[in-house]
Each structure stands twice: as C-alpha cells, then as structure tokens.
Amino acid sequence: NEEIQLASRPVGLPDEKTFRFVTTEMPTPNEEEILVKTLYLSVDPYMRGRMREGKSYVAPFAIDEAISGGVIGEVVESKSSNFQKGDIVTGMLNWARYQTVNETSVQKVNPSLAPISTSLGVLGMPGATAYFGLMDIGQPKEGETVVVSGAAGAVGMIVGQIAKIQGAHVVGIAGSQEKIDYLVNELNFDAAINYKDPDFKTKLKEACSNGVDVYFENVGGDISDEVFKRLNVNARIPVCGAISSYNNKEIDLGPRVQTLLIQNRALMKGFLVFDYIDRFPEGIKQLAGWMMEGKLKYEETIVEGFENTPEAFEGLFKGTNLGKLLVKVAEP
C-alpha cells in the first residue's frame, strides 16, 4: 500500500519537497470498519491553506502524516452491516491507495444516478459551493449582470450556468483563450474575458456595460479590483475564494475597495460551503435536476495515476484544469 504525506510546509508554490510517497502496510478492517480502495481523489485549492500552520476553520495537515481530502472509493472488504463489498463510497479520506475507515466516516454514492466522479464535482462540494454562494448571497435577478472569476473551474462554471438559468447576463473571467471559447461556445456565457489579455480592463468594461450586480469572487487581487470598479448600487459579492493569494508568504490584507462598497451600498460576504451542510441535499437535488433537464453541463480534467497527484495539485495554481480537477487512481 502507499500514501502521500506532507513532507514540509511549502513557501510559495507547492513543489516536490512538499509531498512524500510512503509505502505502508496493507490495512485490515476491524469491527464496524470497511477497507476502501481509492478510485478518484480530489485536489482542491483550499488544501493549500491546510498546508500552512496557524488558526483556520480547519486544522492544518500534520507534517509526516497523510494528506486528506475528498475521495471516492470502492469497498473491497466490509466488517460493517451498512456496507457491502463493491459499494461505492465518498468521504474526507487519506491520499492513500487503500485505507480502513469507520462506517460513519463515508457516505454511499449511487452509481446509477450519475458518473461517480460527479460526487466530487458538480454533485458534490464544488457544486454546492456554487449553488449556495450564488443563490443565498448573490441572489441574481433576471436581467442583472453577474460576473464570476475562476469561471472555467469547478465552482466557477457552475456559478455561471446557474446565473444563466436565473436569466442573468453572465460574464466569466478565466486565464486562457481555450477556456474563454469554452465558456462562450459550450456554456453560453454572454461574454468571457481572459485576465491575461492586455485589453482585459477595456473588454471587461464593454462586457459589463450595465455595471455589475453580482460578483462571485474566486480569485481576489488585481482581477477583482477591476470588477469592483464596475459595481452597481446594491451589488452583492459572495466571497468564495481568493486563489491568487494562496501561495503568498504573508496573508493578503485587502480589500482596498471600501469606498466603492460604500458608494454602492454593496454587500460583500465571505462564506464556507460547510455553513450550508444541512441544506446540501436540497442543493444537490436542484443541481441534478438541472443536469437532467439539460440546463447544466459539467466538465472534468482527470489526471491518471496516484503518482501524479502532487503535479495535479500544483496544476490548480497554473490553471491546467477545465472544470473539476481529479486524479484517477484505479478502476472499480
């Protein structure tokens, strides 16, 4: 068996010194436990925060211990009356090829409803983040302009599509021409702009000719500054992420936008998807419904092989992914 541990806390972008592959004993389940074979594991931007020491909403990863995150696995041995061999499960598990877990730490995934990988993406944590952040805080109305940054990622592309379903004018911001084309041609965003384009500011202004009513914030930094300049009165800003600062040595202490918030009586509210844990079934049901009606598409970038997990994780900060970034570890 094999697991990936945190070898050292990264300074700046995580690299090969951050991770360590360790060969471990093949575990055997005790009473009320199951042995899980990892099929997919999720790499997520928030995990960069857990590599840092200090107080946060979730404890930091420990040095020389396995990294953990969203995993989909198959039950290969069960000493629990709730699970059978062959069941597909998901939970916050270790980055390991095999592991034993208590029956209470995973949920069953129904493979007949949708491809199992979606339970780490559109029908899982990122989908719920998009749904609750946009609907609860953003509250887009028909005809309003919704801007989303990180628009071609797991959360962002769901946000933009939900905003379209609500009848909004949707503008996405992302980091490559391929992503821009995808958002406009495949997902019917009204406009999408590459933040690396020298004409980014002008293009954003043109795309938001009626101002910005909702800004779903995924990236922070200079990109967001440009959106803030276009806010309308009573704008809402769900603050979901700030990936542009996650590798900074010092925490980014902005915002520098107080005056604009005051002038526009704008609401800027940070949130965590786990705040909505009790309402997850409602959100996932709605997302699945839209998928079945053909109104909501999803995309995944799947990196093959457990050994490529560190590289996949680093890719989040380089923008290698379109949609949800996953590592495929094994076939069921």
Choose which of 175, 230, 237, 257 interacts with ligand NDP (CB under 6 A).
175
124 binds ligand NDP (CB under 6 A): no
Q: Shortest Cβ distance from residue 218 to ligand NDP (Å)?
A: 4
Place of tokens 């007949």: 112
By CB under 6 A, which span of 62-70, 74-82, 93-101, 147-155 interacts with ligand NDP?
147-155
Q: Shortest Cβ distance from residue 50 to ligand NDP (Å)?
A: 11
73 binds ligand NDP (CB under 6 A): no
303 binds ligand NDP (CB under 6 A): no
Q: How many CB atoms lie within 10 A of CB 151?
A: 29
- Pick the closer one to ligand NDP by CB: 29 or 241: 241
200 binds ligand NDP (CB under 6 A): no
- CB-based contact 106:91 (threshold 8 Å): yes
By CB under 6 A, which span of 2-10, 95-103, 163-171, 241-249 interacts with ligand NDP?
241-249
Choose which of 27, 100, 319, 330 interacts with ligand NDP (CB under 6 A).
319
Task: Dig out the tokens for 327 from the structure.
Answer: 């590592």
Q: How many CB atoms lie within 10 A of CB 96?
A: 26
127 binds ligand NDP (CB under 6 A): no
* Coil, helix or strand at residue 241: coil
243 binds ligand NDP (CB under 6 A): yes
29 binds ligand NDP (CB under 6 A): no
Q: Shortest Cβ distance from residue 8 to ligand NDP (Å)?
A: 22
User: What's the CA gap between 134 and 151, in Å, rounded?
Assistant: 13
Distances from the Cα of 157 to the Cαs of 105, 199, 218, in angstroms? 29, 23, 11
Per DSSP (E only), the strands in the chain are 2-6, 19-23, 33-42, 68-78, 88-94, 98-102, 107-109, 145-149, 169-174, 191-194, 212-216, 231-239, 267-270, 300-304, 324-328
- CB-based contact 195:175 (threshold 8 Å): yes
36 binds ligand NDP (CB under 6 A): no
Task: Dig out the tokens for 279 from the structure.
Answer: 């309402």
Q: Shortest Cβ distance from residue 143 to ligand NDP (Å)?
A: 26
Choose which of 71, 88, 152, 180 interacts with ligand NDP (CB under 6 A).
152
Q: How many residues line the site for ligand NDP (CB under 6 A)?
A: 30
174 binds ligand NDP (CB under 6 A): yes
Q: Shortest Cβ distance from residue 93 to ligand NDP (Å)?
A: 18
> Helix, strand, coil: what percent of the chain each, to 5?
30, 30, 40
Choose which of 127, 153, 160, 310 interacts with ligand NDP (CB under 6 A).
153
- Pick the closer one to ligand NDP by CB: 120 or 291: 120
193 binds ligand NDP (CB under 6 A): no
- Pick the closer one to ligand NDP by CB: 99 or 321: 321
168-181 b/e with 16+ CB inside 10 Å = b? bbbbbbbbeeebbe
- C-alpha 10: how far from chain center: 21
154 binds ligand NDP (CB under 6 A): yes
51 binds ligand NDP (CB under 6 A): no
Cα dihedral value 247, 53, 237, 279, nearest 10: 130
Query: What residue ranges bind ligand NDP (CB under 6 A)?
Result: 44-46, 126, 129, 150, 152-156, 174-176, 179, 218-219, 223, 240-241, 243-244, 271-273, 316-317, 319, 321, 325
